[in-house]
Structure 1
Amino acid sequence: MGVSMATAEYWVDRWERQQRRYAIHREERFAVLADVAEYATRDVARPLLLDLGCGPGSLAARVAGRLPHAEIVAVDRDPLLLELARTHRAEAARYVEVELGAAGWVEALRLDRAPDAVLTATALHCLGEDTLALIYRHLAQLLRPGGVLVNADHFPAGGPAGPGLAAHLGRRRMARTLAGDEPDWASWWREAAEDPELAHAFAERARRRPATSPGNALTFAAHARLLRAAGFRSVTCVWQYGESRVLVAFA
């Protein structure tokens, strides 16, 4: 039994609204990701893009709108979020259920050529540092020469004064952005679990869900060190507000 379009649309809309709590200037960040992908693939007739930790297809849908000639492979481990994506945003990408960093995860993508860009938004901070380092090594080998990894996420500031200031800027900007009836992460999952139409997806999610990842709180500098150690040539920040940044690494 699948999810109806109306149900998928409702829960994806609720997802988009709750994510506004956690990604400063979320639409602007998505636009920057698409800008970098557009630039990196400007001479490619049919670009291949990967979207890591795609959730219900938020980033894939926006990039597909900007780059309709691109092929997007969107990856996540959560069967519930992928079912919402496949129902509500079926045309945006080919969706693959796989756990990033697990044995054989790259082969499970079934790619017919090297990707031109790997995009990810508010996802890689959920991975432990060792898993992240492994994924960076895999991506450095997977991307075509000159390809890019573009990561929009939270990067805690370094130094004695930076973290407090960056966090304060983020909190103040969020307070000005939220409009009122915005669910948070916990309430979205709690409310979605009560929808009978999603019961089968929650049951599958419970059956497949691996152990909780420890996550990471790596600074931008720490990510840059891991990326260079993995084989990326250079790393730069192309957008920032407080702890929220868009990192670009060149293969």
Structure 2
Amino acid sequence: MELSTETATRWVERWEGQQQRYAIDREERFTVIADVVEHVTAGRATPLIVDLGCGPGALAARLAGRLPHAEVLAVDADPLLLELGRVYHGSAARYVEATIGEPGWLDTLALTRPLDAAVSATALHYLGEHTLRQVYRQLATVLRPGGVLINGDHLSPNGAKISDIAANVGLRHARRQAAFAHEDWQSWWTAAGEDPDLADLLTARSRRSLPHCEGNDLTAADHVALLREAGFEDAGTVWQFGHSHVLVAIR
């Protein structure tokens, strides 16, 4: 059964609310990522941008809105989330089903030219250190010189005591924003699983071998070290609130 715009809207809007529970100043973080992409692609006729672990396409759609002349690829392993994004956001991006880090995943993107930017928001922390190191190296080979990798994610600052303080600052900020009034991740998926309008997509999803969360406890400095090792010229944090970072690496 074809997914209706009404159903996609209902579930994407709930997803947007749910994500605010976890990402401090989510909209500001998206804005910073878009600012960086716009800066590094200034003067380029048709920038090529890929959003890694896009979910229903929130960041990809915002980038397409900011840069209407760009080509945006939205990549995720989950067919349900991808279809929600396709229907809700329309032609803002090209949606590609691929599991980041698996053999041949870059080939699935069918890139015909170097990337200007690869972005990700609250997704790469699911990768283990070994997989992440490999993904960083792979992305370095497909980004043009001067292109960027931008990672907006939860990263611990260096030092346990500073990390604890940063976590407390983030928690207090989230409470002031009433972030915990939103439903949580598990509640969203439980409710989605009970919606008959999503039955076909849920069946398709159940037939996929979705990636499990390997996870890592890398600090921001650890990420910078891995990025330099992978061949990036420079890397560092350009925005931070609590544990929420926007990390930029320049090819």
Asked if 1:177 is matched to 2:177, the reply is yes
Partner AA of 1:120 in structure 2 = S
Distance in 1 (alpha carbons) for counterparts of 2:157 and 2:202: 36
Q: Aligned in 2, Cα 1:68/1:231: closer, same or farther, shift over 3 Å?
A: same
1:219: how far off? 0.5
Residue aligning to 1:187: 187
Distance in 2 (alpha carbons) for counterparts of 1:6 and 1:217: 39
Distance in 1 (alpha carbons) for counterparts of 2:234 and 2:211: 33
SS of alignment partner, residue 146 of structure 1: strand
For residues 217-236 of structure 1, the aligned pairs below 5 Å read 217-236=217-236
For residues 70-89 of structure 1, the aligned pairs below 5 Å read 70-89=70-89
Distance in 2 (alpha carbons) for counterparts of 1:233 and 1:4: 45
RMSD: 1.1
Partner AA of 1:227 in structure 2 = L
SS of alignment partner, residue 134 of structure 1: helix
Contact 2:57–2:85 (Cα < 8 Å) also in 1: yes
Unpaired segments of 5 or more residues in structure 1? none
Contact 1:78–1:209 (Cα < 8 Å) also in 2: no
Aligned length: 251
1:196: how far off? 0.3
1:15: how far off? 0.3
Contact 1:64–1:92 (Cα < 8 Å) also in 2: yes
1:179: how far off? 6.2
1:207: how far off? 1.3
TM-score normalised according to structure 1 size: 0.97
Structure 1's consecutive aligned runs of 4 or more residues displaced over 3 angstroms after TM superposition are none
Distance in 2 (alpha carbons) for counterparts of 1:179 and 1:165: 19
Q: 136-145 vs 178-187, which deviates more?
A: 178-187
Partner AA of 2:58 in structure 1 = S
SS of alignment partner, residue 23 of structure 1: coil
Q: Aligned in 2, Cα 1:20/1:179: closer, same or farther, shift over 3 Å?
A: closer
1:181: how far off? 4.9
Cα deviation, 1:116-148, whole Å, max 9, x if unaligned, reads: 000110110011111111100000011001100
SS of alignment partner, residue 69 of structure 1: coil
Q: Aligned in 2, Cα 1:44/1:211: closer, same or farther, shift over 3 Å?
A: closer
Cα deviation, 1:9-48, whole Å, max 9, x if unaligned, reads: 0000000001001111000000000000000100201100
Residue aligning to 1:114: 114
1:238: how far off? 0.7
Distance in 2 (alpha carbons) for counterparts of 1:56 and 1:179: 20
Residue aligning to 1:246: 246
Residue aligning to 2:97: 97
Contact 2:9–2:88 (Cα < 8 Å) also in 1: yes
Partner AA of 1:150 in structure 2 = I
Cα deviation, 1:148-199, whole Å, max 9, x if unaligned, reads: 0011000012213112111111111111112675111110001111100111
Partner AA of 1:130 in structure 2 = H
Distance in 1 (alpha carbons) for counterparts of 2:44 and 2:111: 17
Distance in 1 (alpha carbons) for counterparts of 2:95 and 2:40: 22
Distance in 1 (alpha carbons) for counterparts of 2:67 and 2:178: 29
- The share of aligned pairs that are identical, in percent, is 55
TM-score normalised according to structure 2 size: 0.97
Q: Aligned in 2, Cα 1:160/1:101: closer, same or farther, shift over 3 Å?
A: closer
Distance in 1 (alpha carbons) for counterparts of 2:54 and 2:216: 18
Contact 1:98–1:105 (Cα < 8 Å) also in 2: yes
